Amino acid sequence: MAKKAIVLFSGGLDSTTCLYWALAQGYTCETLTIAYGQKHEREVHAAREIAQRLGVKQHFVTLNLPWLASSSLVNKEQQIPEHDLNEITSGKIPSTYVPGRNLMFLSVAASLLDAVGADAIVAGPNAIDFSGYPDCTPNFFKAAGQAINLGTEHGVTQGVEVLAPLMDLTKTDIVKLGAKLGVPFELTWSCYNGGEKPCGKCDSCKLRARGFAEAGVKDGAVEK
Ligand code: ZN
Q: Where are the domains of the chain?
A: 4-223
CB atoms within 10 A of CB 208: 27
Q: 187 C-alpha to center of ligand 1: Å?
A: 15
**CATH architecture of residue range(s) 4-223:** 3-Layer(aba) Sandwich (3.40)
Average pLDDT over residues 112-129: 94
Average pLDDT over residues 85-97: 81
Q: 204 C-alpha to center of ligand 1: Å?
A: 6
Whether 4 has a pLDDT exceeding 80, the answer reads: yes
* Least confident piece of the model among 5-19, 83-97, 177-191, 196-210: 83-97
What is the pLDDT at residue 101? 95
Q: 159 C-alpha to center of ligand 1: Å?
A: 39
Whether 89 has a pLDDT exceeding 80, the answer reads: no
What is the pLDDT at residue 142? 97
Q: How far apart are CA 142 and CA 140, in angstroms?
A: 5
Cα dihedral 203, 110, 43, 29, rounded to 10, equals: 120
Q: 215 C-alpha to center of ligand 1: Å?
A: 19
Query: Dihedral of CA 100/69/89/204: which sign?
Result: positive
Average pLDDT over residues 49-54: 96
Report the DSSP beta bridge partners of residue 34: 61
Mean pLDDT, rounded, of the chain: 93
Tens-digit pLDDT profile for residues 149-208 = 999 999 999 999 999 999 999 999 999 999 999 999 999 999 988 888 899 999 899 999
- Beta strands 161-163; 28-35: pairing state: unpaired
What is the pLDDT at residue 27? 98
What is the pLDDT at residue 83? 83
Q: 209 C-alpha to center of ligand 1: Å?
A: 10
Q: 186 C-alpha to center of ligand 1: Å?
A: 15
Q: How far apart are CA 6 and CA 129, in angstroms?
A: 24
What is the pLDDT at residue 65? 95
Q: 76 C-alpha to center of ligand 1: Å?
A: 15
Q: Which of 145, 180, 179 is nearest to 164 (CA)?
A: 145
Question: Whole-prediction pTM value?
Answer: 0.94
CB atoms within 10 A of CB 199: 16
What is the pLDDT at residue 224? 58
What is the pLDDT at residue 86? 79
